[in-house]
């Protein structure tokens, strides 16, 4: 999968941050705790990260935007 990154503003940990997110818009499986549940993969890149990503989030909610997934993760 080639990631298409976009810069977004998210509200997390009591502050507003700018991060880059890439969302796998195709269904995928994350073996293990999620079994064979289809979901969406959201990659998060912090400012200053030149390559790769800093955080990978998997959700079975395939309707939320990448920003909402990041914000929900920070609320847990």
At residue 1, the pLDDT reads 58
What was the pLDDT predicted at 14?
93
* pLDDT of 30: 73
In angstroms, what CA-CA distances link 50 with 46, 53, 57, 66? Answer: 9, 9, 19, 20
Q: Could you read off the pLDDT tens digit of each residue along the chain, which spans 76 residues?
A: 567 889 999 999 999 999 999 987 566 777 777 777 788 889 999 998 887 899 989 888 888 999 999 999 999 8
Asked whether the whole model's pTM tops 0.85, one would answer no
Give the pLDDT confidence score for residue 68 in this predicted structure: 94
Residues composing the chain: 76
């Amino acid at each position: 999968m080639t990631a298409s990154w976009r810069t977004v503003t998210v509200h997390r940990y009591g502050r507003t941050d700018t991060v880059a997110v890439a969302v796998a818009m195709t269904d995928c499986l994350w073996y293990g705790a999620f079994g064979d549940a289809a979901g969406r993969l959201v990659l998060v890149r912090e400012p200053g990260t030149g390559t790769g990503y800093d955080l990978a989030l998997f959700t079975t909610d395939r309707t939320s935007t990448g920003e909402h997934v990041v914000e929900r993760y920070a609320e847990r």
